Amino acid sequence: MIKKLSFRSAAAAALAATFLMAATDGAHAGDTWPQKPVRWVIGFAAGGSADTLTRIAADQLAEKLGQSVVVENRPGASGAIALQHVAQTSPDDTVLITVPGPIIFPNAQPQIGKELAPIMLLAEGPMIVVGPAANKQNSLAEIIEDAKARPETWSYATSGTGTSQHLAGELINHLTGTHLLQVPYKGGGQAVTDVVGAQLPLAILGPTPVLPHIRSGKLKAYAVTTTYRLKSLPDVPTMQEAGIPGYDATQWFAAATVNGVAPQRIQKLNRLLAEIVTTPKFQEAVNAAGMVAGTGTPEDLEKFVARDNEKWADVIRSTGMSVGR
């Protein structure tokens, strides 16, 4: 004989089932996720600022998640190859990407707020204009003077066409009337090697790959691109101090993921990264790079990127700067 449940017993059973489902959903949304290794993609070769900061953040994220975080370099096309790869990845996969900026592509590419979901701004700071120790010129003013007299002899290395370094170089050209030629590389680490070897007369790169060579005397530092000097290079002038009034350019790195990832997962990553950027190890790295650690919500990052991209799009439209391949 089958015993019937009372109304009170049935209600209690239903309530228990509801709590169980809620607990299961919560586990999938945050507590037990991820259940497989995380991939963190970088669109540039190893050795640059983006690579260095990402690897430090990835190591600490792995500890907090209790899961491996594998950093994967996919260099090429100024980061576009990595952007396309992540944008085409299923949102069920566990993949992050470090998006550097500003970057202006000649053709539409995946971007934060559209094909990519924002997580958090990781760091923001200056670039440095450097040259080999063999350069006869000891100041940016001397370089500009010589570049006007002998334009065919001056070029500068960057980590890719359309990147912040390229935009910084084109802004020099626009404000000084020079015609410095950009030579794009697949990352700052590769670019700095050729400049140290005097195969190129200049580079505009993030601080991370160039600071050791500046300190060793293998590179001359001519100026930083921000309106403030670096604490790590107090004797290196700003571009405005070096003789280019109105000059100001920064670079930044942000964490993003494929569009469509559950909001609970993005919020969890945002919370963990907000903790990571305040740790001594990450702070030491951003300070060494002359950068400031990021902060904010995913929504803050989306607004920040939109404003910065529009700023540089306006500059390109008004100056005729070229970012073609």
CB atoms within 10 A of CB 270: 20
Q: Give the H/E segment covering residue 142.
A: helix 140-149
Question: Rounded to whole angstroms, what are the CA distances from 220 to 146, 205, 259?
Answer: 16, 13, 43
Superfamily of domain 128-224: Periplasmic binding protein-like II (3.40.190.10)
Tens digits of pLDDT across the chain (325 residues):
434 444 344 444 444 444 444 334 443 444 578 889 999 999 988 887 889 899 999 999 999 999 999 999 999 888 899 999 999 999 988 999 999 888 888 788 999 999 999 999 999 999 999 999 999 999 999 999 999 999 999 999 998 888 889 999 989 998 999 999 999 998 788 899 999 999 999 999 988 889 999 999 999 999 999 999 988 899 999 999 999 999 999 999 999 999 999 999 999 999 999 999 999 999 998 888 788 899 999 999 999 999 888 888 877 877 676 665 5
Residues 146 and 192 sit within 8 Å (Cβ to Cβ) = no
Per-residue confidence (pLDDT) for residue 24, from 0 to 100: 40
The rounded distance, in Å, linking the Cα atoms of 6 and 26 is: 30
Question: In the chain, where does the domain assigned CATH 3.40.190.150 lie?
Answer: 37-125+250-319
Q: Residue 22's pLDDT is what?
A: 39
54 Ramachandran zone, left/alpha/beta (phi>0; psi -120 to 50): alpha
The burial of 125, by beta-carbon neighbours within 10 Å (0-12 exposed, 13-18 middle, 19 or more buried), is given as: buried
CA atoms of 90 and 190, how far apart (whole Å) = 32
At residue 157, the pLDDT reads 97
Tokens encoding 68? 């491996």
Q: Which amino acid is at 9?
A: S
For the chain, residues classed under CATH 3.40.190.10 are 128-224
Residue range 37-125+250-319, CATH number: 3.40.190.150
Q: Exposed/middle/buried for 84, CB within 10 Å: 0-12, 13-18, 19+?
A: middle
Q: How many CA atoms lie within 13 A of 180 on its CB side?
A: 31
Q: How far apart are CA 34 and CA 274, in angstroms?
A: 18
Name the pTM for this structure: 0.74
Q: Which neighbouring-strand residues pair with 131? A: 220
pLDDT at 321: 65
